[in-house]
Structure 1
Amino acid sequence: MSELQHMPGQRGPAEHVMRERIVALAHTMFRNEGFAETSVAKIAAELEVAPTYLYKFFQSKDAIGSAVCGRALEEITDAIWAVARSKTLASQRIRDLFRVTLKESMGMFFADRKLLNLVARSITQDWPSIAAHKKRIKDVVEYIVRDGMDSGEFDPDLEFEEVVEAVFWALRPYADPRLLEQSMDMDLENQAQLIARFCLRALTARKTIEVTD
């Protein structure tokens, strides 16, 4: 969780046992009681410290929520990094990226309604954990696209940054709980693979056909 420890709203030493205890307990309490119902005073009481002590580590309850949200979202990006670093072809990794992002997001967001609400709140309020999550997803896309271009599997003449941006935005609906919730009546797995195939058609290097007399 190293990058989360230096986010806006967090205070104190980068590594501290109490910081980890606060985040772990807040995660449990937010999931059991809900974010709105869990006050800093309640968290402090469970830890048997004064509320003011928690403010040595976090500027506000939102900052605690952002850290909890970031910790949860790391589970998704850990899964897609495993896809990116696999030894399969880049085209297969693109397909797996869409499939795994959808699977992990659905599994996390809809297994726990209160966690879903927390992540949705973090997106609406643009908490730092969301910016970090988006960056990690984009880093994964960059990694796979770069591999595909370097190997010649993807068209090396394509504009790299433009390709990364396009794939990232194509992937986004499968990582955003608000958009997923609005699409629950759709066959999301087939839809995700349809979009993945469309991306691959745009990415795949065109073979030059030599015409001889």
Structure 2
Amino acid sequence: MSVMEDTRDRIVASASAQIQRHGHIKTTVADVAKHCGMSPANIYRFFPTKAALIEAVSEIWLSMAEENARAIASRSVGAPQRVHDFVLGVHEFNRDRYTRDGEVHETCVAATTERWPIVARHEKTLTDIFATILRDGIDSGEFEIEDVEHTAAVMTSAMLKFHNPIMVAQYHGESLIEQAAALSAFMLKAIRKR
């Protein structure tokens, strides 16, 4: 890793810690710089604005959710079980992340509400990961799907209540696990080979 990459990673890690402690609105570039032991001008060499820095932190958080989804998709179980595990696993990861850390939740809500570019990329990544499970199910003869990409997009859209930070918070008191399990059963009924 180069010195520049190492410095950038230190800045992002520091910003993440500051945001988790104070929230993205109250965190300043000066706070991050002080935490890193460098000047604010040095931070701006890597991130032209505070918003760019916060997006970089949010991208790290979203990539953790994507790694969780990839791990589920690559399990050595049948495609139907992975569909079920994906729906519930994506929900559980996000529910735990958002309810455990209010400042992460607040930042992800802002990213979603304001439609930061990383949110569209994240949604596309989740859809692509889900599509790999569907393709595996077609290849194994378990699923019958005409348009995998469209089906994956529709099904991940149907999962919004279970992973969107706004909706996870709104429905937090409800038993979303049972609803997610019912959604996965509905999905599987629609795509199983007859």
User: So what's the TM-score if we normalise by structure 1?
Assistant: 0.86
Residue 50 of structure 1 and its aligned partner are, at CA, apart by 2.1
Contact 2:88 2:177 in 1 (8 A): yes
Q: Which of 125, 133, 147 is the aligned partner of 2:122? A: 133
Tell me the residue number matched to 1:175: 163
Q: Which of 22, 38, 51 is the aligned partner of 2:27? A: 38
Q: Give aligned pairs, total.
A: 193
- In 2: Cα distance, 1:67 partner to 1:120 partner: 15
Q: Alpha-carbon deviations, 1:50-84, whole Å to 9, x = none?
A: 21211111121111111111111222211111111
SS of equivalent to 1:166: helix
Instruction: Return structure 1 stretches of 4+ with deviation > 3 angstroms.
Output: none
Tell me the residue number matched to 2:150: 162
Q: Which of 187, 190, 193 is the aligned partner of 1:199? A: 187
Segments of structure 2 that go 5 or more residues without pairing to the other structure are none
Tell me the residue number matched to 1:22: 11
Segments of structure 1 that go 5 or more residues without pairing to the other structure are 1-12, 207-213
Larger CA deviation: 159-168 vs 90-99: 159-168
Task: Please identify the structure whose Cα radius of gyration is greater.
Answer: 1
- In 2: Cα distance, 1:161 partner to 1:136 partner: 12
Contact 2:18 2:31 in 1 (8 A): no
- In 2: Cα distance, 1:34 partner to 1:179 partner: 20
User: So what's the TM-score if we normalise by structure 2?
Assistant: 0.93
Counting aligned pairs with the same residue, the percent is 28
Counterpart of 1:49 in structure 2: which amino acid?
M
Structure with higher helix content: 2
